[in-house]
């Protein structure tokens, strides 16, 4: 019998320059929020990418990737795109992947960022704006 290695949950505590990241398969939470202007984006996102690689090998029946970012820089944008392309593969293979893009109603910048990602990633996006 093959045992598929389950990815351990990740919970990165937010700071002035790093976002809060929760990746928990058991609780079915995949969430990114806050600000991301890290000094070393590679170091921050490498464990995230590894987690996603493991997750897409044994995903939950439904996958919801949530974003509630206040601000992120261009190097973070590249990582988000690369990460979402992994979920795109999963969606092509198994379906049932959604992206929830949350931002403030008047936050045109974050809304546009979501639309940019939506334009290049073939996964259904839902935009949720709050007051």
Partner 1 sequence: MNWFDFQNIYSIIKNDHLCLLYRGDFADEITVRLIDLSDLQFQGPSDRINMRKKVAFLMAECFQNVIRHGEIDHFEVGLPQQAGFFMTRNISGDYYIASGNLIEKQYVTTLKEKIKKINQLSPVELKDLYMKVLGTEQLSSKGGAGLGLIEMARKSGRKLESFFREINDTLVFFYLQILLGVVDNNVLRVPVDNHSILKSVELNELLKQNNVIMAYQGDFRQDSILPLLNMINRNIHNIQTENYLYKTIFHVLVEILQNIMHHGYTYNDKREGIFALAVTQDKFNICAANYVENDKSLYLKEILEKFLNHSNGELKNMYKQILREGPRDENGGAGLGLIDIIRSSSVLPDYKLIKIDDTKSLFYLNVVI
Chain contacts with partner 1 (rule: CB under 8 A): 16-17, 37, 39, 42, 71, 73-75, 77-78, 81-82, 85, 104, 106-110, 116-117, 119-120
Q: How far is the CB of 91 from partner 1 (least distance, A)?
A: 16
Q: How far is the CB of 21 from partner 1 (least distance, A)?
A: 18
Q: How far is the CB of 41 from partner 1 (least distance, A)?
A: 9
> Kindly report the CA angle at 92 between 25 and 115, in degrees rounded to 5?
85
Residues in the chain: 131
Strands 10-12, 20-24: pairing is antiparallel
Residue 77 corresponds to which tokens in the numbers above? 């944008």
Cβ proximity of 81 and 121 under 8 Å: yes
Smaller CB separation from partner 1, 94 or 108: 108
CA neighbours closer than 13 Å in the CB half-sphere of residue 38: 19
Cβ proximity of 125 and 99 under 8 Å: yes
Smaller CB separation from partner 1, 53 or 62: 53
Smaller CB separation from partner 1, 62 or 92: 92
Q: How far is the CB of 81 from partner 1 (least distance, A)?
A: 5
Smaller CB separation from partner 1, 62 or 116: 116
Q: How far is the CB of 37 from partner 1 (least distance, A)?
A: 5
The alpha-carbon radius of gyration of the chain (Å, integer) is 14
């Amino acid at each position: 019998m093959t045992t598929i290695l389950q990815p351990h949950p990740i919970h990165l505590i937010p700071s002035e320059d790093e976002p809060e990241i929760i990746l928990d398969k058991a609780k079915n939470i995949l969430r990114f929020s806050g600000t991301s202007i890290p000094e070393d984006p590679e170091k921050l996102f490498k464990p995230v990418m590894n987690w996603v690689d493991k997750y897409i090998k044994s995903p939950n029946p439904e996958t919801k990737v949530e974003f509630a970012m206040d601000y992120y820089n261009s190097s973070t944008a590249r990582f988000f795109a690369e990460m979402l392309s992994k979920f795109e593969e999963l969606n092509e293979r198994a379906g049932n992947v959604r992206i929830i893009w949350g931002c403030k109603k008047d936050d045109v910048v974050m809304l546009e960022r979501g639309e940019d990602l939506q334009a290049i990633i073939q996964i259904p996006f839902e935009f949720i704006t709050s007051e």
